[in-house]
Structure 1
Amino acid sequence: MSVPHPEVVSLLEKQLTHEFHAAQAYTALGYWCDVQHWSGYSQFFHKQAAEERTHAARILQHLADRDVVPQIGALAAPKKDYEDLEQCAQAAYDLERNNTRGIHEAYAVALKHGDFPAQVLLHWFISEQVEEEAWSDKLVAKTKRAACAGALLYLDRHLEKELSGTGGGGE
């Protein structure tokens, strides 16, 4: 298989670093929620952290399959203190928007260089990001609407049930 153009490699490595950063940020969000006793939100953010690590692995494998030893960028420590669940939900939305921008940038460069394998990889990510942005937008909206403690407790329990598979599959 052909080695990708250096500009494509650079942007895939940048996206790889974004995915690892998002995994760390979701882990930090999960533990903040855990300490605050929001177990549904905590489980949800830990699930997202695992998903981001899987996304990073997908990029790593793509590069390795094309004879590129990936350069993983340095990761800054994620934010660990939040004022409330609304701020956590907004942080998740911002992470997903940032990932989408990086994926779109990498895809545009893959198109420019005619890198079909990278385009296929990134097309999967583009589709995935539609889903990621949709859930994060809904999480922000639902958290804002649930502004009182009783409604937030209900939403937290709802997330917990959804993640345990006993929630009935709806939103």
Structure 2
Amino acid sequence: MVFNRPRTTHGMRLSPRLKKMLNDQIGMELYAANYYLSMASWCEATGYEGSAKQLYMQADEERAHMMKIVQHLNEIGAGAVIPSVVKPPGTFKSLEAVFKLALKNEQAVTVAFDKMTDAAQKAKDHATFAFLQWFVSEQIEEEKKMETILQKFDLLGRDKIAVYEVDKIIGAMEPEPAAAA
């Protein structure tokens, strides 16, 4: 029996740099999933049911992103590496602070995907470049969602009633179509 045999020849052509970047991204997506899970748990315990619902969905989405990369690496025979992750914070200053941190996280993820896309282009790795395009588009939606949520605080305010209304709006938000892909 042969193990680690590539299912395609692409795994043999994947540059060591891109393979490392993709495996690093697995860790980044796993951390994001855990971070959103921690945020959701805090929101739920604090009484922000709408935000908890949205952040639980976001945690699932980040896990799905991680799985997409894991399966891609395994399908091409490059081998996914699943890292351990650092424990995310468990408490947050405010609901607005949660979404500021979420936006900051999404911006860091965008930078990582941009770097991978640049590396794939430079290496003329068309298959990896094509694979990454879905994530590039997804990140536009992810950042837009967090920015839209943060705008609600500016529009409605930060007093208790305004934050309650913001939480209701967040809970009513529908998942993006890209999340279903």
Give the TM-score of the pair, scaled to structure 2. 0.86
Q: Distance in 1 between matches of 2:41 and 2:161?
A: 21
Which residue is 1:148 aligned to?
159
Does residue 130 of the first structure (1) align with residue 140 of the second (2)? yes
Does residue 17 of the first structure (1) align with residue 17 of the second (2)? no
Q: Distance in 2 between matches of 1:109 and 1:163?
A: 34
Q: Give aligned-pair identity as a percent.
A: 26
Alpha-carbon contact 2:32-2:105 (below 8 Å) kept: yes
- Could you say what secondary structure the match of 1:79 adopts? coil
Per-residue displacement from partner, 1:110-145 (whole Å, max 9, x unpaired)?
111111111111111001101101111111221344
- Could you say what secondary structure the match of 2:98 adopts? helix
Equivalences for residues 1-171 of structure 1 within 5 A: 1=8, 2-3=10-11, 4-145=14-155, 146-163=157-174
State the AA in 2 paired with 1:155. V
Q: Structure 1: which 5+ runs fail to align?
A: 165-171
Which moves more between the two structures, 73-82 or 138-147?
138-147
Which residue is 2:178 aligned to?
none
State the AA in 2 paired with 1:129. Q
Q: Distance in 1 between matches of 2:48 and 2:168?
A: 9
Q: Structure 2: which 5+ runs fail to align?
A: 1-7, 176-181
Q: Distance in 2 between matches of 1:106 and 1:53?
A: 19
Per-residue displacement from partner, 1:27-86 (whole Å, max 9, x unpaired)?
000001011000000011110000001101110111011102211222100111111111
In the TM superposition, structure 1's runs of 4+ consecutive aligned residues that sit over 4 Å from their partners are none
Give the TM-score of the pair, scaled to structure 1. 0.91
Q: Distance in 2 between matches of 1:88 and 1:144?
A: 15
